[in-house]
Chain A
Amino acid sequence: QVQLVQSGAEVKKPGSSVRVSCKASGGNFKSYGIHWVRQAPGQGLEWMGGIIPVFGTADYAQRFQGRVTITADESTSTVYMELRSLRSEDTAVFYCARDRVRGGSGMFDYWGQGTLVIVSS
């Protein structure tokens, strides 16, 4: 059974950065994309980007380009998402999610539990 376990909640100052981790177990880590989805309080879902570990390069949503970096560590089956230049509007729950289809699809069948990031001075 695939499991995605995310790191814990964070409180950050405006202008700083946050790195959230997503550790995968129970499946083929290398060949399935892991993506990040943001959900602001009371709002909908927003795709930020994703990576297929075996390929190593990430794709990003245009609105986050230049501010987010997604990396994968195959040795620990962990994917990281770093978001820089944080502002109050970045306060949200961040989810990692796995592609349903090997090689990537952008459709997600396994999700992490979510990580709350609060940006406040």
Chain B
Amino acid sequence: ESVLTQSPGTLSLSPGQRATLSCRASQSVTYNYLAWYQQKPGQAPRLLIYGASSRATGVPDRFSGSGSGTDFTLTISRLEPEDFAVYYCQHYGNSPTFGQGTKLEI
């Protein structure tokens, strides 16, 4: 089972800045089966990115994903106030696993 390690644990930025979140897998992620989710307090997670770089329906284009193999990145080009949340990466497939999350705070 692949272990996903996200960094940093907490990222403090301001609206308008660029955010770069990292997700490293202990084993190579087959077929780039890597997704990113956003979770706000008291809400269910929301799918943002799948296949490492494809945006889910309705996700603004300021969100982008990249990477392959064991190293993946979620980039938010210009932070909006509503983007401050916790972000999780996920290796999906037969036995999905999640990273521990990165908290993006103002």
The chain A residues found within 8 Å of chain B, CB to CB, are 35, 37, 44-47, 59, 61-62, 95, 97, 100, 105-109, 111-114
Q: In the bound complex, what is the Cα–Cα distance between A12 and B49 (angstroms)?
A: 36
- Checking A47, A109, A112, A113 against B96 with a beta-carbon cut-off of 8 angstroms, the contacting residue is A47
A47→B90 CA distance, assembly (Å):
10
Please name all residues of chain A whose beta carbon is closer than 8 Å to the beta carbon of B37 when the two chains form the complex: 45
Say whether chain B's binding surface is mostly helix, strand, loop, or mixed.
loop
Query: Are B93 and A105 neighbours in the complex by a CB distance under 8 Å?
Result: yes
Residue B98 is within 8 A (CB to CB) of chain A in the complex: yes
Interface residues on B, range: 20 to 34
Q: Are the CB atoms of A47 and B47 closer together than 8 Å?
A: no
- Bound Cα distance from A95 to B93, whole angstroms: 18
Q: How far is the CA of A113 from the CA of B101 in the complex (A)?
A: 20
B90 contacts across to A, CB distance below 8 A: 45, 106-107
Nearest CB on B from A26, distance (A) = 15
With the chains together, A100 CA to B88 CA distance in Å?
17
Among A62, A107, A114, the residue within 8 A (CB) of B35 is A107
Distance A95 CA – B1 CA, assembled complex (angstroms): 22
Check A107 against B88 for contact (C-beta < 8 Å).
no
Cα–Cα, bound, A44→B86 (Å) = 9
